[in-house]
Structure 1
Amino acid sequence: MPNHLVPIAFELPHITLRGLTNNLTHKPLIVALHGWLDNAASFIPLLTEVTDYHIIALDWAGHGLSDHRPPGTDYQQFDYIDDLHQLLTEQKWENVILMGHSMGGILSSIYAATFPEMVRAVVSIDAMGPITTESSVAENLRTGVLSRHQRRAKRSIASPVPLTQLIDKRQQHTELSGELVELLIKRATRPVIVEAGDGGTQVVWRTDSRLRNASLIRLTEQQAQELMTELSCPMQIIIADDGLLAKRGLWQQREQWFGSAEIVHLTGGHHLHMYNTEQIWAPIAAFLHNIST
């Protein structure tokens, strides 16, 4: 980890959230919010590019080093909005810039639409509004409840696995290099056995397995559009030409939802903010400069 990044923790009334910061506390604040099953380490490469902003990269609940939710609870999308609002109000942060990747971008836009007085601007990286469903309410609820039931039934103690094995497995499903995958995996796991032989360090997951449960409730496309019409702050949407938005054709369908947003198309995959750092920070910095003048 670069020397100028330091750990940070926030003890909220219901949970402790942790993360990383460049500690430039005299600069304007950006809260960086990672994607589903990632963690604050996804912003480490980008943080090294930033000198004009105080960035705090958070681990969402159940991710990275942040606390898990208590037994009997789960990870609903809108609970993260509650976490974020408690954090911002506890810290007395106002006019915050939210920079989110994937799920973090989705939640940033939802929060800005819900609490416009708290947000100065949103930068959404390969995300463009909420995930929606075409299923009925009953179908969605049934799927979510059965998902929880099945996970409780098969719950077992995690066995140690070689760190290298997890890195190799993740690399098969991402465009990231082994070095960048290792950044994410190390923050998502806890070492339990350190061997000198070929096995290397063995780890168990810190990440809460309940994060994989299906959601009980999802918005319809109409509800998501209505919610996004409440978003009034300046917004920049970065679309990776080989990312999820491009592959799913979603951005063309939703472009009209964000008529005043600045849309930037960049080369790269879904995690382009981890390896095309100079390319992605240049338009972000220009956007933030323009809204400040």
Structure 2
Amino acid sequence: MLDETISSESVSAEESLFSETTYDLADGELSAVEIGDAQSAETTIVFLHGWLDNAASFYSVMEAFHALAPQYHLCAIDLPGHGMSSNKLGSNFYLFHDYIDDIYQLMPNFSPNKRILVGHSLGALISACYSAAFPEQVSGLVQIEGYAPLSEAPEECVTRLREGVISRHQYRSVPARGYDCVKTAVRHRAQVNKIAPALISPVIERGIKQVGDLWYWRSDGKLKCDALYRLSPMHAKQIMEQVTCPQRVIIGDEGFPYLPQQCRELTENPPEVFTIEGGHHCHLEQPEQVAELILGLVNQTQQ
């Protein structure tokens, strides 16, 4: 039994609205939660969560969006190594660009007519890169608390390489941490993410498992290792210049403060930026408002 932090009413509501699905990849499986039918809907909206979150990050937004526009197909996936999805095989340390390949394998399963990407944080960066590389597959893009792929000056590359390798050694040396109950895990994540426990609880429920007397994260521990390299700012700018579909960026007023300036600097045609109340997980704090902004973007793609 899960801790009382997760109410039975919210779980039963999710079970009645969402369907659990699985998609095959070349080296594993992606788990997803969906509303509607991909083949009969004119448009599919694909939701990509942030680092160490999972598909449950979008439950409340999807519910709010479905109430506004029930004719659309909605699908939120667990990225590889997250939630119910498979871990990457062997010593794969989740290089950022591998996610682009994962989404490329996933996309043929969705509406052949129109696809919209909605990404939060890491998911926002993945969505941007995918929209730039495969513009024929993406009709619209909504990014929440994220914009361009992470980049840094070339002078940082040796330090990045050193620290990345050391982080892998530390991962191999430190055992996984267990929690005595789900409530403790919820309280910990709520403190880290600076969000009310009730709002983050669905993400914890989907992202934790019991082994013996303790609870452990389902997410692959290798996800916490530092990257061995990052793109240069020029690379990031080139990618964002190639995003040609209608685009919106949603930020929390207590989220990442650098995002508005980044949106202005990295492209000659900056996207629409909307600021709402909340922190980095502002979509959990204001799901109805985020759903309305997503629908506004979807409506733009149909003009």
* TM-score when normalising by structure 2: 0.87
Q: What is the distance in 2 between the residues matched to 1:94 and 1:149?
A: 46
Q: What is the distance in 1 between the residues matched to 2:262 and 2:208?
A: 38
Is 1:47 matched with 2:47?
A: no
Query: Which residue does the alignment assign to 2:167?
Result: 147
Q: What is the distance in 2 between the residues matched to 1:95 and 1:285?
A: 14
Query: Which residue does the alignment assign to 1:274?
Result: 284
Quick one: structure 1 residues 186 and 75, their matched pair in 2 at CA, closer, same or farther if it must change by over 3 Å?
same
* Counterpart pick for 2:83 among 61, 64, 67: 64
Query: Which moves more between the two structures, 37-46 or 127-136?
Result: 127-136
Contact 1:20 1:58 in 2 (8 A): yes
Pairing of 1:13-92 with structure 2 (within 5 A): 13-25=26-38, 26-27=40-41, 28-51=43-66, 52=69, 53-89=72-108
Is 1:252 matched with 2:261?
A: yes
| Cα drift, residue 256 of structure 1 | 3.7
Matched position secondary structure for 2:23: strand
Query: Which residue does the alignment assign to 2:195?
Result: 176
| Cα drift, residue 139 of structure 1 | 2.0
Task: Letter of the 2:281 partner, please give it.
Answer: H
Q: What do residues 198-228 of structure 1 show as CA deviations (whole Å, max 9, x unaligned)?
A: xxxx422211110000001101112111111
Query: Which residue does the alignment assign to 1:235?
Result: 247
Q: What is the distance in 2 between the residues matched to 1:261 and 1:160?
A: 42
Contact 1:45 1:275 in 2 (8 A): no
Q: How many residue pairs align between the two structures?
A: 282
Q: What is the distance in 1 between the residues matched to 2:262 and 2:201?
A: 35
Query: Which moves more between the two structures, 46-55 or 61-70?
Result: 46-55
Q: What is the distance in 2 between the residues matched to 1:129 and 1:243?
A: 16
Query: Which residue does the alignment assign to 2:224?
Result: 212
Query: Which residue does the alignment assign to 2:5?
Result: none
Q: What is the distance in 1 between the residues matched to 2:127 and 2:176?
A: 34
Query: Which residue does the alignment assign to 2:145?
Result: 126
Matched position secondary structure for 1:57: strand
Quick one: structure 1 residues 54 and 172, their matched pair in 2 at CA, closer, same or farther if it must change by over 3 Å?
same
Contact 1:30 1:98 in 2 (8 A): yes
Query: Which moves more between the two structures, 63-72 or 178-187?
Result: 178-187
Query: Which residue does the alignment assign to 1:284?
Result: 294
| Cα drift, residue 260 of structure 1 | 4.7
| Cα drift, residue 157 of structure 1 | 5.9
Q: State the superposition RMSD in angstroms.
A: 1.9
| Cα drift, residue 193 of structure 1 | 5.1
Contact 2:246 2:297 in 1 (8 A): no
Q: What do residues 29-85 of structure 1 show as CA deviations (whole Å, max 9, x unaligned)?
A: 000000001000000011111222211000000000000011221111001111111
Q: What is the distance in 2 between the residues matched to 1:189 and 1:166?
A: 9
Q: What do residues 226-272 of structure 1 show as CA deviations (whole Å, max 9, x unaligned)?
A: 1111111111111211112x2xx232143143425222121211111
Query: Which residue does the alignment assign to 2:209?
Result: 190
Quick one: structure 1 residues 214 and 157, their matched pair in 2 at CA, closer, same or farther if it must change by over 3 Å?
closer
Task: Letter of the 1:141 partner, please give it.
Answer: L
Query: Which residue does the alignment assign to 2:21?
Result: 8
Contact 2:44 2:110 in 1 (8 A): no
Matched position secondary structure for 1:285: helix
| Cα drift, residue 192 of structure 1 | 3.5
Quick one: structure 1 residues 110 and 121, their matched pair in 2 at CA, closer, same or farther if it must change by over 3 Å?
same
Quick one: structure 1 residues 132 and 18, their matched pair in 2 at CA, closer, same or farther if it must change by over 3 Å?
same
Structure 1 gap ranges (5+)? 195-201
Contact 1:160 1:192 in 2 (8 A): no
Q: What is the distance in 2 between the residues matched to 1:100 and 1:275?
A: 16
Contact 1:94 1:118 in 2 (8 A): no
Q: What is the distance in 1 between the residues matched to 2:179 and 2:185?
A: 11
